[in-house]
Amino acid sequence: MGRGLLIIGAVAGWLVFALYTVVLISVIVQPDTSQSDEVVGSIAFMVIGAAVAAPCTFFAYRIGRRSARPWSLDGSTALANVGGDVQQSYLAWFAWCQQALGGDAVSLHAATMAAMAAGAAGNPTAAASAEAARQSARLAA
């Protein structure tokens, strides 16, 4: 939602900037009695358009880079950074557990949490597999 509004603001700002650039060029090419007022007005609107568009473009770009998924269905790229952001780590390990272990939602969640907990110990994959086996045995009983 926020990135969409920033993109709309950036497009509107750059359109205002471009429109008044064309107006400035046409005022310079066709001189008349009120040319100085038109030049000042065009430059003022160009500055306003750029002042709106530049920060909107910057922050829309920054938000877009940060919201990229840390994992893909092919395999996780965030497995090495388990200690990072908790939500991103959970999504990465959940995708790995779903791909490697399969099973129901309870065992996948338990395996994901075990992998995240064992990440600091250095062997999160074995912890995830062991927890998935425990959950499968519990569900089978």
Share of the chain above pLDDT 70, in %: 47
Q: What is the mean pLDDT of the chain?
A: 74
Query: What tokens does 127 get?
Result: 């912890």
Among 6-10, 77-81, 85-89, 123-127, the minimum mean pLDDT is found in 77-81
115-120 long-range CB contacts below 8 Å, 24 or more apart? 115/82, 116/82, 116/86, 116/89, 116/90, 119/82, 119/83, 119/89, 120/82, 120/83
Residue predicted with more confidence, 56 or 94: 56
Against a cut of 0.75, is the pTM above it? no
Q: Measured between alpha carbons, how far is 64 from 62 in angstroms, rounded to an integer?
A: 5
pLDDT band at 11 (very low <50, low <70, confident <90, very high): very high
Among 52-61, 63-72, 92-101, the minimum mean pLDDT is found in 63-72
| Per-residue pLDDT, 73 | 46
Q: Is the pLDDT of residue 51 over 50?
A: yes
The residues facing 79 across adjacent strands are: none
How far CA 52 is from CA of 6, 20, 44, 61, 141, in Å, comes to: 10, 14, 13, 15, 63
| Per-residue pLDDT, 68 | 45
Q: What is the pLDDT of residues 59-84, one digit of tens each?
A: 888 887 654 444 444 454 544 444 45
Q: Which residues of 45-74 are buried (b: 16+ CB within 10 A; e: fewer)?
A: bbeebeebbeebbebbeeeeeeeeebbeee
Q: Is the pLDDT of residue 57 over 70?
A: yes
Q: Are 105 and 136 a contacting pair, CB within 8 Å?
A: no
